[in-house]
Amino acid sequence: MQIGVIGLGRMGSFYAQTLAHLGRNVQLAAVSDPDPRARENVASRLSVPRVLADYEAMFQGPRLDAVVIASPASAHADQVVAAARAGVAILCEKPLALTLEQTRAVLTIVQQASATLQVGFMRRFDTGYRQAKQLIDAGRIGRPTIFKAIGRDPTCPSIEYAHPARSGGLMADMAIHDFDLARWLMSSEVERVTAEGANLACEALASVGDIDNAVINLRFANGAIGNVEVSRNARYGYDVRTEVLGSEGAVSVGDPAVAAEGGARMLARPTLQPNGIPFFIRRFEAAYAAQIEDFIDCLEHGRQPAIGGVDALAAFEIARAATISWQTRNPVALSELRAANV
C-alpha cells in the first residue's frame, strides 16, 4: 500500500515515521512540505522515494492508495478535495476546513468521489477512552447525565501555528477534541452551546484576535449537559481529563502523569527540560499509531472509517457555535448555526 504524507511538522513527521515502520505491506511513498527544512528533517531519517515541495505533485506521479494530511488547518480543504478527486483515501487532521460552508462543500466532493475519509480524532483510539466508552455503553454508570472535560496545553503556541486564520482558533483547533469526545461518549448530539472565553496569558494571541482560555457549556439532544474547559497555559504539563457522570456512577479518564489520585496535589512548572518530543505525542503516541493502523485496516478490508466526515462536521459545528457564543455572549442553537452555514 503506497501512502503519502502532506505537511511534515510535529504531527506529519510523526505520521511519516509511524508509516515508514508500520510493516503490514505499507510503504511511505511520498511526502510533501513547502518548507525545505521540514522535508530535509524527514528525508534524512526515513527512506522516502518522493520528497516534494508541492502537494499537488503527489497526485500526478505514481499512484498513491492513501494520504495523511497534517498541514495547517487552513490548507486541509483544498488538499482533501485534491486527494478525493485523485481517488486517494484520506486520513486528515482536524479540522477539515475553517467554516461550515467549506466543510460541507468538502464533504460533498468526498462523497461524490466515493473517497474514504477518516478524521484525526485520535483520542478515540486511546486505551483509557476506549475503556470509558465500553463501560458507558455497557450501562455501568447508568444513564449519562454530565460530561466534563479539561484540556490544557502546557505553553502558549506559536502565532505561526495558532493564528485563527491558519488553525481555526482555540475552539476549532483545541476544544474540538473534547467536542468529539462529548458526542461519542454521551452517544448524543449537542444541540446548544454557551461559551465564555478570554485572553489571559498568551498576549501574542490577543494581537491576532484569539483567546487562550475558555469554558463551554453544552446541552445534549438527549437532555444531558456538559462542560468543557480549555486552556493554552497550564505550565505544569499537558493535562487532558474527562469525566462522565451517570445516574449510577461515573467514569473518568486522565493522564496518570498529572491527574491527582486523591487529596490535593501541587502541579508546578517542571524543572526538567522536555526532551523535544511534542507534548501531545508524548501523551497520545499509542493512540496516533492505533489511528493510522485502523485507517490501514479500513483500506485493506474495504471497511468505512469509524470516525468520518459526519464526525468532522459535527465536532466542528460545536466549535463554531462555541466561537460565536463567546464572541456574541449569547447561547447558540446548532439548528440556527446550520441555517446560517458560517
Ligand X SMILES: NC(=O)c1ccc[n+]([C@@H]2O[C@H](COP(=O)([O-])OP(=O)(O)OC[C@H]3O[C@@H](n4cnc5c(N)ncnc54)[C@H](O)[C@@H]3O)[C@@H](O)[C@H]2O)c1
User: According to CB under 6 A, which one of 120, 151, 164, 169 is a site residue for ligand X?
Assistant: 120
User: According to CB under 6 A, which one of 3, 5, 6, 28 is a site residue for ligand X?
Assistant: 6
126 lines the binding site for ligand X (CB under 6 A): no
E strand or H helix at 180, and its extent? helix 176-186
55 lines the binding site for ligand X (CB under 6 A): yes
Computed over its alpha carbons, how large is the radius of gyration of the chain? 20
**Which residue's entry shows cell 482560555?**
213
Residues in the chain: 342
Q: β-strand 250-253 against 27-32: which pairing, if any? A: unpaired
Helix, strand, coil percentages in the chain from 3-state DSSP, rounded to 5: 45, 20, 35
Residue closest to 119 by CA, chosen among 79, 90, 161: 90
203 lines the binding site for ligand X (CB under 6 A): no
| Contact track, ligand X, 269-308, x by CB under 6 A | -----------x----------------------------
Q: Which is nearer to ligand X, 161 or 236 (CB)?
A: 161
CA distance 270 to 111: 47
DSSP state of 287: H
Count CB neighbours of 256 within 10 A. 7
Q: Which is nearer to ligand X, 175 or 193 (CB)?
A: 175
Name the minimum Å distance from CB 203 to ligand X: 20
311 lines the binding site for ligand X (CB under 6 A): no
| Contact track, ligand X, 153-182, x by CB under 6 A | --------x-----------x---------
User: According to CB under 6 A, which one of 3, 5, 8, 244 is a site residue for ligand X?
Assistant: 8
Name the minimum Å distance from CB 38 to ligand X: 4
| Amino acid in the structure at residue 311 | D
34 lines the binding site for ligand X (CB under 6 A): yes
Interacting residues with ligand X between 60 and 89 (CB under 6 A): 70-73, 75
CA distance 303 to 321: 32
Residue closest to 238 by CA, chosen among 254, 251, 215: 254
- Site size with ligand X, rule: CB under 6 A: 25
User: According to CB under 6 A, which one of 7, 237, 246, 305 is a site residue for ligand X?
Assistant: 7
User: According to CB under 6 A, which one of 24, 35, 260, 342 is a site residue for ligand X?
Assistant: 35
Q: Which is nearer to ligand X, 35 or 137 (CB)?
A: 35
Helices (H), 44-168: 73-85, 100-112, 127-137, 159-162, 164-167
Count CB neighbours of 32 within 10 A. 24
Residues at the site binding ligand X, with contacts judged by CB under 6 A: 6-12, 32-35, 38, 55, 70-73, 75, 93-94, 120, 122, 161, 173, 280
